[in-house]
Amino acid sequence: MFRSTQSKYPLVSYKDAVLNCLPGDGGLYVPDQAADFRQYFLHMDEKTSFNELVAAIAPSLLEGGLNPVSSLRVVESAYNFKPELIELDDGFFILNLYNGPTGVFKDFGIAFMSAMFEEFMKDGGQAMILAAARPDTGVSMAHAFSGRKGISLVLLYPSGQIRGLDPSSFVQNGGNIIPIQVKGTFDDCQRLVIETINDREFSERYNITSANTINPGRLFPQIFYYLYAFNQVKNRLNGDLIFSVPSGNFGNLIAGLYAWKFGMPVNGFIAAMNSNNAMGDYIQGKPFVPKNLIFTNSPALDVAVPINYDRLASFYDEAPAVMRNMVYQASVNDVLTLETMEYVYKKYNAYIDPHTAVAFAAARKIEAERKWKGNTNTIVLATGHPARSANLAEKATGKAIKTPEFLKELWKKCDPIALIPPQLDAFEGAIVSCF
């Protein structure tokens, strides 16, 4: 069962939390009790496939939402890609999470969520999903939701950012995707999503929910790749295990914390930030004071106030001392980011993207400070395909990187089906006119 970060009651089922993703009190949904995955680990090792693992574990994580049969259906419909763990050095691993259709780790949560929505609608329901979109997550969501029965997806883009969508999937061409451009910023889009959901009459009429990580349906499937990585390494671990996670809105790190809370034996996490590092103070036990946004070369980490702040805070409120021993923070500037991309290329003959470089450099920093005594195994989460930042990769390494065709498609410009001012009535009017 799930509850709001703001109160212990009411409890709602996972399905209800997904379909109705904002509690009325301004909080965010979090699990009320801990699941326990340990029983499953006994049956899993490095030969267990990602889909086998997800199909087995999802019913216990998403109790009441999926059963063993529907779980298998959802997994097979969600994933034709998987994480890939690579050992670069003795005990130093990189977990490639960019093998999905749009080259970012967010494909994992979004693909599972879209397949699960379709499963929830299979008895004839209709739902509308709203999402504030940036170019990359927009494509990822459109890709995952396109053609799903019983669902329409409304993507709100800030000015000038629509790219890579397939017009044949748009609602006026018989599809189910509705891209709308807002004359405003990403924050305006995010605010419009929340205002629309909180307009209860309107959101009930269209059965509206959101596909941003405020929705637990997208955040919790991100647990699966942590468990997969753990099962890949557990039989050869010699010493501690830590994950280094490039963190912007902190959805990825929080998924890791839940994996731990639900039984994955891990010794620590590194919250790796670029120069937007205000959360670092919070992690060290000081109050969170937002700082002005700085634009860096790892833009997905350019976040002033993480949207998942309340979820992270709920961990610290419960057990502050435990959290201080569990989560470490490091901040990596643009210069070190580029140097790290160069270092990895020279030492391992591999490209990494700038977000991954932030996590890589953070892991090296923390190791150098000897926060962990004894032997440490480190898994760095590689969140973005290196060719998504081809210019930067070339600048760092001196060698041009080859961009796969499917990534080139993602940068093609396209038109919205409506252009609106950043106001609730304009947005609701645009939705109504589609039906």
Crossing angle of the two packed helices 334-348 and 354-368, in degrees rounded to 10: 90
Minimum CB distance to ligand PLP smaller for 184 or for 384: 384
Tell me the residue length of the chain: 435
CA 293 to chain centre: 21
**Shortest Å distance, C-beta 273 to ligand PLP:** 9
**Shortest Å distance, C-beta 281 to ligand PLP:** 17
- On the 0-12 / 13-18 / 19+ scale of CB atoms within 10 A, 24 is exposed
Minimum CB distance to ligand PLP smaller for 306 or for 416: 306
**Shortest Å distance, C-beta 225 to ligand PLP:** 12
Token pair of 274, please?
């670029």
| One-letter amino acid for residue 135 of the chain | P
Q: 257 near 270, Cβ under 8 Å? A: no
- Give the Cα separation of 179 and 171 in Å (integer): 9
Token pair of 33, please?
């009790």
**Shortest Å distance, C-beta 155 to ligand PLP:** 16
**Shortest Å distance, C-beta 370 to ligand PLP:** 26
Minimum CB distance to ligand PLP smaller for 356 or for 397: 356
Token pair of 6, please?
């703001």
**Shortest Å distance, C-beta 30 to ligand PLP:** 16
Minimum CB distance to ligand PLP smaller for 208 or for 272: 272
Minimum CB distance to ligand PLP smaller for 82 or for 311: 311
> In what helix (H) or strand (E) does residue 21 lie, and over which residues does it extend?
none
CB neighbour burial string for 357-378, b if at least 16 within 10 angstroms, e if fewer: bbbbbbbbbbbeeeebeeebbb
Pairing of the two strands 92-96 and 84-89: antiparallel
Residues at the contact surface with ligand PLP, assessed by CB under 6 A: 104, 106, 246-252, 300-301, 355, 383-384
Minimum CB distance to ligand PLP smaller for 69 or for 86: 86
Minimum CB distance to ligand PLP smaller for 65 or for 306: 306
**Shortest Å distance, C-beta 161 to ligand PLP:** 14
Q: Listing from the earlier edge strand, what are the strands of the sheet with 92-96?
A: 84-89, 92-96, 376-382, 240-246, 268-273, 327-331
**Shortest Å distance, C-beta 423 to ligand PLP:** 27
C-alpha distances (whole Å) from 196 to each of 83, 155, 156, 287, 391 are: 35, 13, 12, 31, 38
Token pair of 21, please?
């993703």
Minimum CB distance to ligand PLP smaller for 209 or for 249: 249
Partnered with residue 328 across adjacent β-strands are 270
- On the 0-12 / 13-18 / 19+ scale of CB atoms within 10 A, 409 is middle
**Shortest Å distance, C-beta 434 to ligand PLP:** 28
Minimum CB distance to ligand PLP smaller for 239 or for 411: 411
- Give the Cα separation of 195 and 271 in Å (integer): 30
Q: 409 near 103, Cβ under 8 Å? A: no
